[in-house]
Amino acid sequence: MNGPEGKSFELTAPPGAEPAHPHVFVSYRHSDTAAQAFLLHDRLKRRFGDDTVFLDIAALKPGMDWREAIHARANACGVLIVLIGQKWLSLMKESAQRNLVEPVDDVAREELEIALRNKGNIDVLPVLVDGATMPAAHDLPTTLQRLTDRQAERLELVSYDQDVERLVERLVALSSEPRSAPTRPGGADDRPPPRPGRSSHVERLARLITGNGHVVVVLGSGVNRGLDTLPDSERLASALAGGVGYENPREHPHLTEVAQYVDVTWGRPDLHRILTESLAGAYEPGPVHRFVAGLQKKLEAAGLPRWPFLALTTNLDTALERAFNDAAEPYHLAIYMAGTGRFVHITPDGAQQEVFQANGYYDFPIEDDLRLSSTLIVKLHGAIGQRGLGYNDAENYVITEDNYIDYLSGGSVEQIVPVQILQKLKVSHCVFLGYDIADWSLRVLLKRVWGSRIPAASWAVQPDAHEFEDVLWGKCGVDLITDPLDAFTANLEAALRQG
């Protein structure tokens, strides 16, 4: 039978036998433990009677809706046995990676997720087959990590009879334990976010952050405004102009324009020197950086689940990373390297991996349901002051007009931004902090990543925005909040504390 990776059978006790056992659902993967599942089916059938064991290839007839049948049995069972072989984890990861490109059925995973959500009604019993080991929690998707809390049984060829008897005894013991009242299929983790109703933007955003974690924080130059040691784009433009004696006729010179002038007339070494002096010093992160870095602890303090998230920034400084380091919060980094036209992935332990193929790299901590298992910081335009990368720092960031032209027109966005990050951006609610929508480079970025509009409800915090800027944000599908950044973060923190 050609079918999905997840296969199953069911066990009940015949009339007159010992006290009824719970319905048992055994989940396995054809490419991993099909033979062991068939042998176990045979032993259990002998133990409990001919009509007590369900095996998929015997019970799923041609024309049946196999997905509906399997899901119905998974929701109704009392014990779900998970046969874990040597390839169980790698097969699940391969399925998750393929799912980013095209829909893939991983029924074995769906079966397990159903059982774990029905805590109190379905006992999950992992069975390690032929020397397999229990996967670590950090290697599993968030929805499956509770599997590692279960005590596993073993099923070895050299001790098969004894192992099956011990497994039967465990099933009998589980059948005598009291059950909770049934929960609805899907569980609380699948509930949709509450309807916005008449609540404020901040309340809606807080409910999204605490409800599903599909929120991306996007930091622009404005988060540095007002800081003593870390310049925003205007102050950085002034530093570049002053460093070479450039008298720009504009009252507020554009950073890309001044950087282009310095690069063309003085050269990249001088451009890099002035930028490094301005951005790579011993500066302190600002309040917004610290708020973002402390978001997980704020959720924890409010008794809410931690939701690792994606933080994207077009700033070249390392203030956000420093804030996360100060908060002792681990994170992954994805840094664009303009010199190679590729991203580099840096893990929390400092290991580096260059992303040679944007649409074929799947090692960022983004699961196939697009939730994150660890926070990810994406440096979309590169970084200055990021040591130990092994690349030419002077060439690996986007700042001049020529850099932007090459970056934004040098190929499709799918050829530049890794597929996991791009997929996450396209389904997430975004919060833009410190951005001016009048900046043409931001509008081009929005257009290339999301097309005409961001489909998920999103917000931009831009104090003193003009009416035309409100219109521009609206055309991008983004609601404008004109509160000062410090007032916005204070209001959001208060909303998170209220749960």
pLDDT of residue 402: 87
The first and second tokens of residue 345, run together, are 């992935």
Give the model confidence (pLDDT) of 246-263 as tens digits.
876 566 678 888 999 999
Q: Which residue has the higher pLDDT, 275 or 210?
A: 275
Q: Are the CB atoms for 88 and 131 separated by under 8 Å?
A: no
Q: What tokens were used for 32?
A: 């991993």
φ, ψ for residue 252 (rounded to 5)?
Answer: -125, 85
> From CA 71, how far away is CA 163, in angstroms rounded?
28
pTM of the predicted protein model: 0.66
* For range 131-156, the mean pLDDT: 86
pLDDT at 183: 45
State the DSSP code for 152: P
Give 101's pLDDT tier (boundaries 50, 70, 90): low
Contacting residues for 151 by C-beta, under 8 A, at least 6 apart = none
Fold of 201-230+283-497: Rossmann fold (3.40.50)
Strands (E), 296-434: 310-313, 332-337, 342-346, 352-354, 376-379, 429-433
Structure tokens at 242: 């002053």
Q: Is 241 exposed, middle or buried (0-12, 13-18, 19+ CB in 10 A)?
A: buried
Largest CA distance in the chain: 97
Higher pLDDT, 14 or 117: 117
Residue 68 pLDDT level (bands cut at 50, 70, 90): low
Same fold, 6-189 and 201-230+283-497: yes
pLDDT at 432 over 70: yes
Locate 67 and state its tokens: 């997905």
- How many angstroms separate the Cα of 229 from the Cα of each of 237, 285, 313? 15, 9, 19
Q: pLDDT class for 409, splitting at 50, 70, 90?
A: low
| Rounded CA separation 53/44 (Å) | 7
pLDDT above 70 covers a percentage of the chain that reads 79
Q: Which residue has the tokens 């924080």?
A: 217
Query: How many other β-carbons are positioned within 10 Å of the β-carbon of residue 49?
Result: 16
pLDDT band at 148 (very low <50, low <70, confident <90, very high): confident
Of 137-141, 193-197, 358-362, 448-452, the one with minimum mean pLDDT is 193-197
Over residues 420-437, the mean pLDDT reads 90
Name the architecture of domain 6-189. Answer: 3-Layer(aba) Sandwich (3.40)
Tell me what pLDDT residue 293 has.
95
Q: Which residues pair with 432 in a beta bridge?
A: 218, 460
Q: Which of 13-27, 162-176, 258-272, 403-417 is the least confident region?
A: 13-27
Bridge partners of 468, per DSSP, are none
The residues pairing with 352 across neighbouring beta strands, listed in sequence order, are 346
Domain boundaries, given as residue ranges, for the chain? 6-189, 201-230+283-497
Cα–Cα distance between 491 and 206 in angstroms, integer?
10
Closest CA to 461 of 486, 494, 434: 434
- Res 213 pLDDT > 60: yes
What angle, rounded to 10 degrees, do the helices at 268-279 and 255-265 form?
A: 140
Mean pLDDT for 59-88 is 70
What percent of the chain is modeled with pLDDT above 90?
21
187 pLDDT exceeds 60? no
Classify 474 as helix, strand or coil: helix
Residue whose structure tokens are 């999103």? 458
Instruction: Give every CB contact of residue 279 below 8 A, 6+ residues apart in sequence.
Output: 230, 231, 236, 316, 317, 384, 385
pLDDT of amino acid 179: 60
